[in-house]
Amino acid sequence: MTLDDILASLFPKGHEIRNDKGVLLGSATLRRGDKMLVLGVADRTALGVDEAIRLSGHVLASIGRDSGPILVLVDSDSQRMSKRDELLGLNEFLAHLAKVLIHADMNGRPTIGLLYGHSAAGALLATGLATRVLIGLPGAHPAVMDLPSMAKVTKLSMEALEKKAKSTPVFAPGLSNLVQMGAVHMTWSNDASLADQLEVLLADMPAARDQRDTLGKARGGRLKAADIAERVRDLALQAR
């Protein structure tokens, strides 16, 4: 599905979303008539300081002005890998975007990420992984780390890595692996109206509490994370 197809299916009542060199900013009208703030990265654009500051600014400008949920569309490259971006403090810009999304979510503006293409590393952390509910569309192909780079670092052949990837979701790229880890909450269908699926989700949003580790445990992707976190929390609470 192209971005235009996705937007048409999500927002049959119309939207005002502009794509300016891969940065998506705007808003849309939901079925029941209320507005949804929309932002995102399209066309596999790298997320650098210039893109991130516009995205965070779009969310901050809507706080106090609008109400309603926030949608983050993701088809990005990795973070922009450049001297200039690092020189200017890319880590702060990406963290700031994530913080703004998390803060909005915690304060009455539930956030939904829609991963419909690629994403990786710092770009995914600052967008989809900073939302309360991350949805994957069929065909999305996130890669925290690509296999050729992994082959280089681990000094294993691509064949050996691909073989290992069959036995565990823990390192290899792909949407289904991120679902199993608990990073992606659910996948939607391309065959049904996305507006219908969005409506179902909005009517029954999970609580704002981060439940990705229990999700990962239930799906068999991360068997230790939830228990270790819980044990440390208990010990720390006893220690005060």
Partner 1 sequence: MTTPLKDVTPAERARSTSFYEASARTRLELLLDAGSFVEFIGPEQREVSPHLKIFDLPEQFDDGLVVGHGRLDDAPVFVAAQEGRFMGGAFGEVHGAKLIGLLRAARQIASMPVLILFDTGGVRLQEANAGELAIAEIMRAVMEARSAGVKVVGLIGGRSGCYGGGGLIAGCCSALAVSEPGRIAVSGPEVIETNRGVEEFDSRDRALVWRTMGGKHRRLLGAADVFADDNVQDFREAALELLGLIGPFALDSLKAEQERLADRLSRYGACLDAVDIWTAQGIAHAETVPELPADQFITLANRIGRTSRDAR
- CA-to-CA distance for 210 and 63, rounded, in angstroms? 22
Q: How far is the CB of 71 from partner 1 (least distance, A)?
A: 18
Among 59, 47, 4, 5, CA closest to 22: 47
> Which of 90, 135, 137, 201 touches partner 1 (CB under 8 A)?
90
**Considering the rule CB under 8 A, would residue 212 count as an interface residue with partner 1?**
yes
> Which of 36, 94, 114, 194 touches partner 1 (CB under 8 A)?
94
Asked whether 153 and 207 are in contact (CB, 8 A), the reply is no
Tally the residues of the chain.
Answer: 240
> Which of 17, 37, 125, 198 touches partner 1 (CB under 8 A)?
125
What residues from 13 to 42 belong to the interface with partner 1 (CB under 8 A)?
none
23 or 28: CB nearest partner 1: 23
Among 145, 232, 221, CA closest to 185: 221
Q: How far is the CB of 111 from partner 1 (least distance, A)?
A: 11
> Which of 35, 63, 196, 199 touches partner 1 (CB under 8 A)?
63
Three-class secondary structure of residue 219 per DSSP: coil
What residues from 149 to 208 belong to the interface with partner 1 (CB under 8 A)?
149-150, 153-154, 156, 164, 167-172, 177-178, 181-183
E strand or H helix at 163: helix 158-165
E strand or H helix at 234: helix 225-239
36 or 104: CB nearest partner 1: 104
How far lies 89's CA from each of 23, 51, 52, 86, in Å? 20, 13, 12, 5
